[in-house]
């Protein structure tokens, strides 16, 4: 149809650290009664004679959303991902990648050997 623009679908995914063992889990984010935070993985749980869904209680301070992007190794990039000082070497301190997502207006930078991609905001002078 003329004048109708197709929307690009984006995977909606969250991750958070489990409160019982600190491991990261990915899936759907659910908050119950405003204080209980869970990630539902989407896996079917057939234990104890009934059908259920696998879920884990997570620390709400660790929950972040998938950006829809992956790094050069195909690893999903989540909001808040950062490069630590241990990730840096003289060979990694080279900025060489800038990307702008016109659909969302978001801008990203990366480096020659950086393991992560960073979202940036360009402020007016």
**What is the enclosing helix (H) or strand (E) of 97?**
strand 95-101
Q: What is the mean pLDDT of residues 29-57?
A: 83
Q: Is 115 exposed, middle or buried (0-12, 13-18, 19+ CB in 10 A)?
A: middle
Q: Report the candidate in 76, 89, 86, 85 with the shortest Cα–Cα distance to residue 116.
A: 76
Residue 115, CA distances (Å) to 26, 48, 76, 80, 109 in order: 20, 42, 11, 14, 12
Q: What is the pLDDT of residue 94?
A: 59
Identify the residue with better confidence: 66 or 89. 66
Mean pLDDT of the chain: 76
Identify the residue with better confidence: 60 or 69. 60
Taking only the tens place, the pLDDT of each residue in 3-35 is 666 556 667 789 999 999 999 999 989 888 888
Please tell me whether the overall predicted TM-score, pTM, comes out greater than 0.75 for this model: no
Q: What is the mean pLDDT of residues 29-53?
A: 82
pLDDT of residue 121 exceeding 70? yes
CA distance 79 to 56: 20
Identify the residue with better confidence: 17 or 80. 17
Q: What is the mean pLDDT of residues 35-53?
A: 80
Q: What is the pLDDT of residue 96?
A: 62
Q: Is 123 exposed, middle or buried (0-12, 13-18, 19+ CB in 10 A)?
A: exposed
Q: What is the pLDDT of residue 59?
A: 93
Tell the residue number behind the tokens 């020659």, with chain if given.
Answer: 112
Identify the residue with better confidence: 93 or 52. 52
């Amino acid at each position: 149809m003329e004048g109708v623009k197709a929307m690009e679908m984006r995977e909606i995914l969250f991750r958070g650290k489990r409160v019982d063992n600190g491991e990261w889990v990915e899936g759907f984010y659910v908050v119950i009664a405003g204080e209980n935070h869970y990630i539902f993985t989407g896996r079917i749980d057939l234990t104890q004679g009934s059908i259920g869904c696998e879920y884990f209680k997570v620390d709400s301070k660790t929950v972040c959303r998938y950006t829809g992007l992956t790094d050069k190794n195909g690893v999903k990039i989540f909001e808040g991902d950062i490069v630590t000082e241990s990730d840096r070497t003289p060979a990694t301190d080279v900025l060489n990648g800038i990307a702008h997502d016109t659909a969302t207006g978001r801008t990203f930078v990366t480096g020659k050997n950086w393991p992560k991609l960073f979202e940036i905001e360009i402020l007016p002078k």
